[in-house]
Amino acid sequence: MRIGIYAVGRLKSGPEKELASRYLDRFAKAGPPSGLELSRMVELTESRAGNAQTRKREEAAELLKSIPDGAMIVVLDERGKALDSEEFATLLGEHRDRGQRDLAIVIGGADGVDPDLRERAKVVLNLGRLTWPHQLVRILIAEQLYRAVTILTGHPYHRV
């Protein structure tokens, strides 16, 4: 299953980008033998619209243009369901095993995700009740993708 990360905003050079890249590189190397691969990382420019509702709508339209047809959409949103790492790995493994070709993980802009895009998502997840800067969200999801592969393959990286 090809997994892409679709984010509003760009990571600037620095330690956050380096750490996210490190985990994405680990995932890209470890994932294919388990049937999971990093297909792409898409960073879109934030909307400059004058109000939050319009910004979210414009950003959602651009995100949807980038996501492959038929992809399972997973939106990261504060109102989503919290999973632990093993549940996240199981989610990926089950959809991979069902033959899902593409999975798109969506990280919205500073105003969040447009409600229509959230409704189109097969899964809406949160990364805990705390509010995280988007730079850290990218690191967290990159690490969890790598961790999911290690869980699915029985690698000792993940310890309970």
Q: Which residues are annotated as a binding site?
A: 76, 108, 127-132
Other CB atoms within 10 Å distance of the CB of residue 155: 13
Residues 6+ apart with CB under 8 A from 156: 150
Query: What is the gyration radius of the CA atoms in the chain, in angstroms?
Result: 15
Measured between alpha carbons, how far is 141 from 155 in angstroms, rounded to an integer? 19
Nearest to 45 by CA among 32, 58, 28, 27: 58
The annotation places the binding site for S-adenosyl-L-methionine at: 76, 108, 127-132
- What are the CA-CA distances from residue 55 to residues 11, 61, 82, 119, 128 (Å)? 19, 10, 26, 17, 24
